[in-house]
Amino acid sequence: MLVSATEMLKAAVAGKYAVGQFNINNLEWTKSILQTAQENNSPVILGVSEGAGKYMTGFKTVSAMVSAMTEDLGITVPVALHLDHGTYDGAYKCIDAGFSSIMFDGSHYPIDENIEKTRELVGVCHSKGISIEAEVGAIGGEEDGVVGGGEVADPDECKMIADLGIDFLAAGIGNIHGKYPENWQGLNFDVLAQIKEKIGDLPLVLHGGTGIPADMIKRAISLGVAKINVNTECQLYFQEATRKYIEEGKDLVGKGFDPRKLLAPGCEAIKTIVKEKMELFGSIGKA
Ligand code: 13P
């Protein structure tokens, strides 16, 4: 059964660890992440961007697949199915499709409009037991065609959005999606501390988890980050393992062309990186 992310993230703030949001693209991704969470007794959040939702033919398909898979695999750890960087319309579609958590990303709207739309969606989500993440200060980099400039959120705006009753808050602190450039300045811990001071125990979300050094991750968790999103790193691990399989000519041996064999090394690689992140975030054994 899918659960909202509220309880697992409250527990994470109290226990000073973070729960990983791993983005899914297909059945293989979903299976690898769910199995890793179960094997390590860790709560987990499956993230679905609007682009990935479209790729998988729609949010209803995603929701049905994830629900059925948790049952068929006998998953007992808490699993939240979460819309990542949702638009206003996308949020409503996921609420209807049975997602247990959504992110409404109104960071590109003027703050008043972000507040108005977030407030409305908080009411709808909470009437259905769905958790809701909101965002202030766009995350930099590019994800599914959405480009942001590595912004840093205004702590006062964070407080205004937090006060709407959201369950967790994504605030830009110099983080970006995708690989970090050589000249990246690192996370802005001063702003993170100011935001934390204003919002108290509300769980904070760190987007762009790929490639952030371990010491920065640990410091961010100590300052109230309780959800960390990872997408690109799973893609890179999958790509590398798949490339190796083909370069070694394994697809040409026997039934090596069978998709279940061809995709197996990539699936194992996803399990490896997800476990590594769960260890770093401290969520192992916390289900
Ligand atoms: P990365 O692709 O950089 O890991 O970011 C993931 C993310 O923040 C999804 O919202």
pLDDT in tens, 142-159: 555 555 456 789 999 999
Question: In the annotation, is 84 catalytic?
Answer: yes
Q: Going from the N-terminus, what domains does the chain have, and what CATH number goes with each?
A: 6-233 (3.20.20.70)
Segment 211-230 shows an average pLDDT of 97
Atom of ligand 1 nearest to the CA of 21: 9
Ligand 1: does its nearest atom lie under 6 Å from the Cβ of 84?
yes
- Token reading at 67: 């629900």
Kindly give the distance from the C-alpha atom of residue 190 to the centroid of ligand 1, in angstroms, as a whole number: 22
What integer pLDDT is reported at residue 239 of this predicted model?
Answer: 98
| Contact indicator for 114, 136 with CB cutoff of 8 Å | yes
Partners of 20 in beta bridges: 228
Segment 188-213 shows an average pLDDT of 96
| pLDDT over 70 (residue 64) | yes
| Contact indicator for 178, 237 with CB cutoff of 8 Å | no
Q: What is the Cα–Cα distance from 35 to 102, expressed in whole angstroms?
A: 23
Q: What is the Cα–Cα distance from 35 to 106, expressed in whole angstroms?
A: 33
Look at 260 and 181; give whichever has higher pLDDT.
260
**Nearest residue (CA) to ligand 1, atom 1:** 208
- Closest alpha carbon to 278 in 15, 47, 5, 36: 36
Query: What's the chain's average pLDDT?
Result: 95
